[in-house]
Chains A and B, each alone.
Chain A
Amino acid sequence: DSGVTQTPKHLITATGQRVTLRCSPRSGDLSVYWYQQSLDQGLQFLIQYYNGEERAKGNILERFSAQQFPDLHSELNLSSLELGDSALYFCASSGLGVYTDTQYFGPGTRLTVL
């Protein structure tokens, strides 16, 4: 158990819909990262937040957005969903944020878009 929690575990929805994935980092970790894992693209970095502020962006679509709240939990919002958005979405957290640190991954949320 990494200490990172993600809800829900599974999510099934329809094209065009909007969903929100939630992540709680390990106690004390300030940085949260979101990743997408799909058969086509493999594991891709989406976005990083550090202490409530966006720190880095990866291959995140404009239809996707994220935020980190004062209690440090984070949410990833996916809108106008398409079939190709079906994937496993991971959250990871790390401690220092300022310098490179080890990222610990949550169990993931499996999103299925029908």
Chain B
Amino acid sequence: AQSVTQPDIHITVSEGASLELRCNYPYGATPYLFWYVQSPGQGLQLLLKYFSGDTLVQGIKGFEAEFKRSQSSFNLRKPSVHWSDAAEYFCAVGAGGGADGLTFGKGTHLIIQP
């Protein structure tokens, strides 16, 4: 069974600082990778996805992520965070093939300091 690791349960950054959220997946073949964000009391919003091709993917709200096969990582980055970025961030992986429930990491809670 696949599993997704988000090593950081909480991360605190200052507004305007850069951000990197880590995600690792132990999967041999190239998986289908996603980052979702969940604001308090809200559903999950897709930030970006990687299926194939360019390993640096751009998403919404100024986020980007880089797929690194050698490190089995798909880290999420943002050059300058805003207070509105405070939320829970989930990395997810899909196996592909159409029977494709996503496997989610435990999430990283992002706190923005003024």
Q: B43 contacts A105, CB within 8 Å? A: yes
Chain B nearest CB, measured from A33 CB (Å): 6
User: Is the pair B34, A99 in contact by a Cβ cutoff of 8 Å?
Assistant: no
CB pair A42 B104 closer than 8 Å: yes
A96 to B51 CA separation, bound complex (whole angstroms)? 14
User: Given A42-B106, A56-B101, do A105 and B44 touch, yes or no (CB 8 Å)?
Assistant: yes
Number of interface residues of B (CB under 8 A): 26
Report the bound CA distance from A107 to B102 in whole Å: 17
Q: A105 to B67: give the CA distance in the assembly, Å.
A: 23
Q: Are A56 and B43 in contact (CB under 8 A)?
A: no
- State whether the Cβ of B49 lies closer than 8 Å to any Cβ in chain A: yes
The answer, yes or no, to whether A2 is at the interface (CB within 8 Å) is yes
A102 touches B96 (CB 8 A): no
> In the complex the two chains form, is A107's CB within 8 Å of B42's CB?
yes
Among residues 14 to 65 in chain A, which have CB atoms less than 8 Å away from a CB atom of chain B? 33, 35, 42-48, 50, 55-56, 58
> B90 on the interface (CB 8 Å rule)?
yes
Rounded to whole angstroms, the CA-CA distance of A85 and B36 in the bound complex is 24
Chain B contacts for A44, CB-based, 8 A: 104
Tell me whether A108 and B98 are in contact in the complex, defined as CB-CB below 8 angstroms, given that A43-B104, A45-B103, A102-B34 are known contacts: no
Question: B19-50 toward A: CB 8 Å interface, digit per residue (1/0)?
Answer: 00000000000001010100000111110010
What CA separation (Å) do A107 and B106 show in the bound complex?
19
Instruction: Decide: A45 and B43 in contact? CB cutoff 8 A.
Output: no
